[in-house]
Amino acid sequence: MSAARSRLDSLWGRGREFLGTEVAIMGGAMSWVSERRLVAAISNAGGFGVIACGSMTPDLLAAEIEATQRLTDRPFGVNLITMHPQLDQLIDLCGRLRVGRIVLAGGLPQSAAITRLKDGGAKVMCFAPTVAFARKLIRLGADALIIEGTEAGGHIGPVSTSVLAQEILPAVTEVPVFVAGGIGRGEAVLSYLEMGAAGVQLGTRFVCATESVAHANFKQAFIRANARDATPSVQVDPNFPVIPVRALNNPASRRFVDFQHQVIDRFKRGVVDQKAAQLEIEHYWAGALRRAVIDGDIEHGSLMAGQSVGMVTCEQPTAEIISELIDQAVGALTTRERLGAVV
Condensed to tens digits (0 to 9), the pLDDT of residues 180-239 reads 999 999 999 999 999 999 999 999 999 999 999 999 999 999 999 999 999 999 999 999
Q: What is the mean pLDDT of the chain?
A: 96
Q: Do 81 and 57 form a contact (C-beta atoms < 8 A)?
A: no
3-213+314-335: in CATH 3.20.20.70: yes
**Average of per-residue pLDDT across 127-145:** 97
Condensed to tens digits (0 to 9), the pLDDT of residues 311-332 reads 999 999 999 999 999 999 999 9
Q: What is the pLDDT of residue 1?
A: 65
* Cα distance between residue 285 and residue 125, in whole Å: 28
* Cα distance between residue 95 and residue 320, in whole Å: 32
Flag whether pLDDT at 52 surpasses 70. Answer: yes
**Average of per-residue pLDDT across 293-305:** 98
Q: 3-state DSSP helix/strand/coil percent for the chain, to nearest 5?
A: 50, 15, 40
CB within 8 A of 210, min separation 6: which ones? 315, 316, 317, 318
Strands 177-180 and 199-202, sheet pairing: parallel
Flag whether pLDDT at 343 surpasses 50. Answer: no
Flag whether pLDDT at 99 surpasses 80. Answer: yes
Flag whether pLDDT at 341 surpasses 60. Answer: no
Condensed to tens digits (0 to 9), the pLDDT of residues 105-115 reads 998 999 999 99
CATH 3.20.20.70 domain residues, the chain: 3-213+314-335
